[in-house]
Structure 1
């Protein structure tokens, strides 16, 4: 597949108006994406668990208009108009216009809400952009003939990537690969794909409890952070490490080695933050309580022969990952020893999910 594969073919169908709703989840990367080329192309492959409970629900209403007036849309978050979101949506529309040429033919009303707290540090750009991309693909499906389910998902992921890189990993589940890797058939820089090989039972129904250490806005945007990798002294070695860790995870997923899984996932999380701390300008997104939680997890794991581990996004919050058979004991540990380090004692219990779903408009 190339970019040209996603250019919408001319059609004779027209739609006057309509409405479509999609629910799309966030995801948490195990091998991290940090550093990109032009057009949201990743410098290295990544793989993520799709989440289940943490998701964005987006309703897109559309009504035909004169295309000469350009892009036209209004955005609402939880029922409140959010003009501050418009610049990001317009940038997205400009990026995808050649693939979605009907964008200027409609006035859109975008109504979106998250099942997790706003500014909680969970990747709302991933769930939000993938939900919007899926809504647009539902319109394309109405306008076009013979769109296969596979093409629908691939193009939705392709479009979502142009809004937010990690959003391309939220269309499907439960393990999604984004970025070309020589040993993973079908892997692509253009869109996310389901991990195509057998996965050991140890990783079924994997749990993710997100500890909300800091609910404020990030000091440094992900876009700025990615761009700082262009001249980073350790960038080349980091990209090589990601490829190697992907190869090692393939063995782990086959044989169920949870100790190796823990080592790779935690190393990836710390490497991500090491890249931030060694860029110019440098920055630290972890907070003191982030480190307290990490040390508590290490201590608990050693004492209890547990397979619990942590990972981090580009922020202070901690994703606590653990197999389903440890659910009760790890939740007890979290309540007794980790909640004290969360802002206002807040945390979110989630688990592996299986991707986005179209909802029926009432």
Structure 2
């Protein structure tokens, strides 16, 4: 389906036959979760979502391009991850290039080498596809910028988000810093299903300085990838109610972000995280991404919060690992507790910020 044709770039151009582009892009953590899409090929969400982009948790991608000697329909692509060739990544990359070729027809005239690495484990539930596909989309837009010197920054970012979405839905949110919205929601001006936008409304200062400490419970790639989970929402018995709940929670979050209510914020993001996993556990076939130590961390957070009165809350993406969100003012005491009481439940701790 050829949606948003104003992103189409005609084939007539003049560009250096060889080039190298490097871009980095962050992972993100969704507060209101996107789970389920209309059609896997065009990546249209069944509910709106909002996320924080994360400092220090990112993918770096180096895109090397060479003009083809002979015209062929498809480009030649090699991909290296952390210095090793990864042929297993090629099907997804070829599918991505196929999807975006209508909007970036110039890609068909080049061959590519993609060199990429993460600062965190891939395919383990920390949105590695979001950071990797958004980094690649930014590289591609840098090529387009060489073609069109008058390209405006706003268009550059919108189209990068649009392209990233066609590789991984949540990748469209990683194009921007801060709080980012993807998916049409009647209460958020400018929100749409084709690309993400920076959150357009007032945000209380407390939510502009949030810490995200990530506990790596399991570094191994997930046995069941998120793409499979999204597909199962099309036949899920509770899907319609989930989409209604997500939209209602988005309205609630708009109010929370404005007034700065940390307790309401925490309760809402924990509810969203557990709802996501409830959908996973009640799919057909059903499955479970949480590990025993995931649950140990969640119960520990609940108990510590009651005893200490600290504003620490958890959220999870589609995996076993846990994100702990809390205000920067409480970082010292909370981080001390994390390293003393939670270290035994995880293999690694990643300190990050929501920026």
Which TM-score band applies after superposition, normalised by the shorter structure? over 0.9
Deviating more after overlay: 76-85 vs 33-42: 76-85
Q: Secondary structure at the match of 2:55?
A: strand
Displacement after TM superposition at 1:35 (Å): 0.3
1:190-239 CA-to-partner distances (Å, cap 9, x unmatched) read 01100011110111221011101111121211111001000111100100
Q: 1:99 aligns with which of 103, 111, 125?
A: 103
Q: Is the CA contact (8 Å cut-off) linking 2:316 and 2:323 kept in structure 1?
A: yes
Find the aligned partners of 1:81 and 1:10 in 2 and give their Cα distance: 31
8 Å CA contact 1:11, 1:144 repeated in 2: no
> Tell me, what secondary structure is at the counterpart of 2:314?
strand
After TM superposition, the score normalised by the length of structure 1 is: 0.94
The residue correspondences of 1:279-358 to structure 2 (distance < 5 A) are: 279-343=283-347, 346-353=348-355
Secondary structure in 1 matching 2:234 = coil
**Partner residue, 2:15:** 14
Structure 2 residue aligned with 1:133: 137
- Structure 1 residue 16: Cα displacement: 1.0
The aligned counterpart of 1:29 is: 30
Q: Report which stretch shifted further, 184-193 or 75-84.
A: 75-84
Which of 33, 40, 54 aligns to 2:43? It is 40
2:166 aligns to what SS in structure 1? helix
The answer to whether the Cα contact below 8 Å between 1:11 and 1:143 also exists between their aligned partners in 2 is: no
Give the number of the structure with larger relative contact order, counting CA–CA contacts within 8 Å between residues 6 or more apart. Answer: 1
The answer as to whether partners of 1:17 and 1:63 remain within 8 angstroms in 2 is yes
How does 1:180-219 map onto structure 2 within 5 Å? 180-219=184-223
Ranges in structure 1 where 5+ consecutive residues have no aligned partner: 354-362
CA distance in 2, matches of 1:203, 1:11: 46
Alignment of 1:228-247 (within 5 A): 228-247=232-251
**CA distance in structure 1 between the partners assigned to 2:289 and 2:71 by the alignment:** 43
Q: How many residues align?
A: 350
More displaced 10-residue stretch of structure 1: 25-34 or 136-145: 136-145
Distance of aligned partners of 1:107 and 1:146 in 2 relative to their CA distance in 1, 3 Å threshold: same
Alignment of 1:56 onto 2:62 = no
Question: Aligned partners of 1:260 and 1:36: how far apart in 2?
Answer: 28
For each residue in 1:94-134, what CA deviation from the matched residue of structure 2 results, as whole angstroms up to 9, or x when unmatched?
Answer: 11111111112111111111112345532111000000000
The 1-side partners of 2:78 and 2:245 are apart by 43
Deviation at 1:144, TM superposition (A): 2.2
Q: Give the distance between the partners of 1:195 and 1:50, measured in 2 at CA.
A: 12
Does 2:162 match 1:161? no
Question: 1 CA distance for matches of 2:339 and 2:233?
Answer: 37
Unaligned runs of 5+ in 2: none
Secondary structure in 2 aligned to 1:142?
helix
CA deviations 1:157-182 (Å, max 9, x no partner) are 00000000010010011000000010
Give the structure 1 partner of residue 268 of structure 2: 264
Among 99, 102, 114, the residue aligned to 1:110: 114
Where 2:315 maps in the other structure, the secondary structure is strand
- Write the deviation string for residues 265-287 of structure 1: whole angstroms up to 9, x where unpaired: 00000000000111111111101
Contact 2:206–2:327 at 8 Å: present in 1 too? yes
> What's 1:3 paired with?
4
- Whether the 8 Å CA contact 2:124–2:320 is kept in 1: the answer is no
User: Contact 1:121–1:214 at 8 Å: present in 2 too?
Assistant: no
The reply on whether 1:221 has 2:198 as its aligned counterpart is no
Structure 2 SS opposite 1:198: coil
TM-score (ref. length: structure 2): 0.96
